[in-house]
């Protein structure tokens, strides 16, 4: 007989108490990161009811079950309302998998090591930027605040390293689905990013001479023909009060042009519902948003494991379903995340912002977001941005990002629920033009992807 030590009521009370006192650090029974230091698994930090969907739902669901319109009401409290709407009204289905108990499967190896190594070293300076508290230097890698004590610290974990590799090139295939379920636009593009500080797989945490920056990041469109060669390059300042520089290249005009960078609530190219502001739920410099607050801490379902399809599709692509034409949603697996911190922020630095706030759901275990919702100025939900992550390893296949199995995002749903347009995109192994997804490729990434000359070269 299974004897419950902690009931769901106990869990709920414990979360309420944590939220009330402003403690955002992971772990309910004991702090997760001290368990990690003692090489324990998560069972020391969370009761069984938060690590098993079967236990949590009293046997109503178990790993392998599918959440559908018929049963979504039973787990509605574990999903954001827009996901519930997608399942209930649009035919979306989500497969449940076991909760991850081994925290190494929720990080790239070097990033996790840096997080453990640098735990307790970070602080926020007078302006609110992340620094090494002792030296005042830029951040040196890993999650700066694995045990945050404020909403700003919680959010800073998303800001300092988007993809959690020093250098990443993602081959991305995007489909934009119209309200009638038909394909409206389709793009192939490359997303390249290089952290200039906080590097974890390199000899030094900074690229020399680039300490005043946070990252370089570029988007290159390779398909369709009318977009091929179009590229944009962002240069992010370390100071999170400043906007990145944005330049673009349109092959038909053969000129690199600077673009206004403070207009961040528009898509880069027609048809996509993703704004500059949406990237990684932290697409804007952190300090151009304000009034951060933790509104809730609770268990939720999140797509954080089992989503890599490298063993069943040679290009890592995946099945689709739902919507009026059966292609609005990717097949997705979710697990019960024992502790999710819900942070809200307001666009205080954008007097003309069409959004009133964003709500970001952050998995307390790895401090990565599992969902993100924006609200319009009337306070009504506008867009949901739902990423899926996975360690790139299965029983039959794996991908290394050096000496260890890679961890990265696999696919994303970005749904403008007001106009009912869905952009869904995935990280593919390779795409048109022969570009491949690759992590920690080293300094070559800069010259190949991240300079004005590179984007010009690409377009010609």
Name which of 63 and 269 has its Cβ closer to other proteins: 269
Query: Least separation, in Å, of the C-beta of 260 and other proteins?
Result: 6
Query: Least separation, in Å, of the C-beta of 87 and other proteins?
Result: 21
Question: In this structure, what are the phi and psi dihedrals at residue 151, rounded to the nearest 5 degrees?
Answer: -65, -35
Task: Answer yes or no whether residue 324 interacts with other proteins by CB under 8 A.
Answer: no
| Piece of 153-161, 247-255, 326-334, 428-436 that binds other proteins (CB under 8 A) | 247-255
Name which of 318 and 421 has its Cβ closer to other proteins: 421
Task: Answer yes or no whether residue 255 interacts with other proteins by CB under 8 A.
Answer: yes
Task: State the Cα–Cα distance between residues 208 and 190, nearest whole angstrom.
Answer: 26
How many other C-beta atoms lie within 10 A of the C-beta of residue 148? Answer: 26
Task: Answer yes or no whether residue 258 interacts with other proteins by CB under 8 A.
Answer: yes
Task: Answer yes or no whether residue 244 interacts with other proteins by CB under 8 A.
Answer: no
Task: Answer yes or no whether residue 378 interacts with other proteins by CB under 8 A.
Answer: yes
Name which of 227 and 334 has its Cβ closer to other proteins: 227
Query: Least separation, in Å, of the C-beta of 279 and other proteins?
Result: 15
Closest CA to 115 of 73, 160, 83: 160
Partnered with residue 247 across adjacent β-strands are 233, 258
Name which of 62 and 418 has its Cβ closer to other proteins: 418
Q: Which of 27, 47, 271, 459 binds other proteins (CB under 8 A)?
A: 271
The tokens of 59 are what?
A: 């046997």
Query: Least separation, in Å, of the C-beta of 258 and other proteins?
Result: 3
Task: Answer yes or no whether residue 247 interacts with other proteins by CB under 8 A.
Answer: yes
Q: Do the beta carbons of residue 320 and residue 330 sit within 8 Å?
A: yes
Query: Least separation, in Å, of the C-beta of 200 and other proteins?
Result: 33
How many other C-beta atoms lie within 10 A of the C-beta of residue 268? Answer: 17
HSE-CB for 368 with a 13 A CA cutoff: 29
Partnered with residue 246 across adjacent β-strands are 234
Name which of 42 and 178 has its Cβ closer to other proteins: 178
Q: Judging by DSSP bridges, how do beta strands 332-346 and 94-96 pair with one another?
A: parallel
Cβ neighbourhood burial of 435 (10 Å; 0-12, 13-18, 19+)? buried
Nearby residues of 114 by Cβ (< 8 Å), 6 or more positions away = 140, 141, 142, 200
| Piece of 77-85, 121-129, 268-276, 309-317 that binds other proteins (CB under 8 A) | 268-276
Q: Which of 1, 89, 135, 260 binds other proteins (CB under 8 A)?
A: 260
Q: Could you give the 3-state DSSP secondary structure of residue 123?
A: strand
Query: Least separation, in Å, of the C-beta of 209 and other proteins?
Result: 23
Residue window 136-175: x/- pattern of binding to other proteins, with contact defined by CB under 8 A? ----------------------------------------
Q: Which of 19, 184, 202, 451 binds other proteins (CB under 8 A)?
A: 184
Query: Least separation, in Å, of the C-beta of 252 and other proteins?
Result: 3
Task: State the Cα–Cα distance between residues 186 and 212, nearest whole angstrom.
Answer: 36
Nearby residues of 220 by Cβ (< 8 Å), 6 or more positions away = 189, 190, 192, 230, 231, 435, 449, 455, 458
User: In the chain, what's the furthest Cα-to-Cα distance?
Assistant: 72
| Piece of 82-90, 136-144, 347-355, 394-402 that binds other proteins (CB under 8 A) | 347-355
Please work out, in degrees rounded to the nearest 5, the angle formed at the alpha carbon of residue 172 by the alpha carbons of 170 and 177.
155
Task: State the Cα–Cα distance between residues 211 and 213, nearest whole angstrom.
Answer: 5
Binders in 80-119 for other proteins, by CB under 8 A: none
Cis peptide before 217 (omega within 30 of 0): no
| Piece of 26-34, 58-66, 133-141, 253-261 that binds other proteins (CB under 8 A) | 253-261
How many residues bind to other proteins according to rule CB under 8 A? Answer: 39
Task: Answer yes or no whether residue 248 interacts with other proteins by CB under 8 A.
Answer: yes
Q: Do the beta carbons of residue 184 and residue 456 sit within 8 Å?
A: no
Binders in 399-438 for other proteins, by CB under 8 A: 418-419, 421
The tokens of 240 are what?
A: 């999170």
Name which of 117 and 182 has its Cβ closer to other proteins: 182
Query: Least separation, in Å, of the C-beta of 187 and other proteins?
Result: 11
Task: State the Cα–Cα distance between residues 357 and 440, nearest whole angstrom.
Answer: 34
Closest CA to 124 of 138, 141, 142: 138
Q: Which of 350, 381, 397, 456 binds other proteins (CB under 8 A)?
A: 350
Question: In this structure, what are the phi and psi dihedrals at residue 185, rounded to the nearest 5 degrees?
Answer: -140, 155
Task: Answer yes or no whether residue 224 interacts with other proteins by CB under 8 A.
Answer: yes
Binding site for other proteins (CB under 8 A): 178, 182, 184-185, 224-227, 230, 247-248, 250, 252-253, 255-260, 262-263, 266-271, 350-352, 354, 376-378, 382, 418-419, 421
């Amino acid at each position: 007989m299974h004897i419950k030590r902690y009931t769901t009521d106990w869990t709920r009370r414990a979360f309420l108490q944590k939220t009330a006192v402003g403690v955002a650090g992971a772990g309910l029974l004991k702090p997760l990161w001290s368990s990690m230091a003692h090489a324990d698994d998560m069972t020391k930090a969370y009761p069984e009811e938060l690590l098993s969907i079967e236990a949590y739902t009293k046997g109503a669901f178990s790993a392998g079950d599918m959440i559908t319109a018929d049963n979504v009401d039973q787990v509605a409290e574990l999903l954001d309302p827009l996901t519930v709407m997608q399942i209930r009204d649009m035919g979306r289905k989500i497969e449940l998998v076991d909760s991850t108990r081994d925290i190494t499967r929720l990080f790239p190896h070097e990033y996790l090591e840096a997080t453990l190594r640098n735990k307790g070293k970070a602080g926020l300076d007078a302006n609110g930027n992340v620094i090494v508290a002792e030296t005042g230097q830029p951040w040196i890698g890993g999650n700066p605040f694995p045990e945050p004590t404020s909403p700003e610290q919680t959010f800073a974990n998303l800001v300092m390293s988007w993809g959690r590799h020093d250098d990443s090139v993602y081959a991305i295939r995007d489909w934009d689905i119209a309200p009638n379920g038909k394909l409206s636009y389709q793009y192939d593009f490359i997303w390249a990013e290089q952290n200039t500080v906080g590097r974890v797989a390199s000899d030094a945490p900074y690229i020399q001479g680039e300490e005043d920056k946070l990252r370089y990041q570029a988007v290159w469109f390779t398909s369709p023909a009318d977009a091929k060669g179009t590229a944009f390059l962002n240069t992010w300042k370390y100071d999170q009060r400043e906007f990145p520089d944005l330049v673009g290249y349109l092959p038909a005009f053969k000129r690199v042009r600077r673009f206004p960078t403070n207009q961040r609530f528009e898509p880069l190219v027609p048809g996509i519902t993703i704004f500059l502001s949406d990237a990684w739920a932290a697409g804007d410099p952190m300090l151009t948003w304000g009034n951060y607050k933790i509104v809730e801490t609770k268990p939720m379902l999140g797509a954080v494991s089992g989503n890599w399809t490298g063993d069943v599709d040679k290009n890592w692509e995946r099945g689709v379903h739902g919507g009026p034409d059966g292609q609005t949603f990717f097949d997705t697996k979710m697990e019960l995340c024992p502790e999710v911190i819900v942070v809200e922020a307001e666009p205080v630095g954008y007097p003309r912002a069409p959004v009133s706030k964003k709500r970001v759901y952050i998995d307390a275990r790895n401090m990565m977001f599992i969902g993100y919702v924006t609200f319009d100025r009337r306070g009504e939900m506008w867009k949901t941005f739902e990423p899926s992550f996975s360690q790139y390893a299965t029983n039959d296949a794996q991908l290394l990002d050096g000496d260890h199995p890679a961890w990265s995002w696999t696919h994303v749903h970005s749904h403008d629920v007001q106009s009912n347009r869905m952009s869904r995109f995935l990280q593919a192994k390779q795409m048109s033009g022969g570009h491949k997804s690759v992590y920690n490729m080293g300094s070559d990434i800069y010259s190949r992807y991240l300079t004005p000359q590179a984007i010009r070269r690409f377009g010609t």
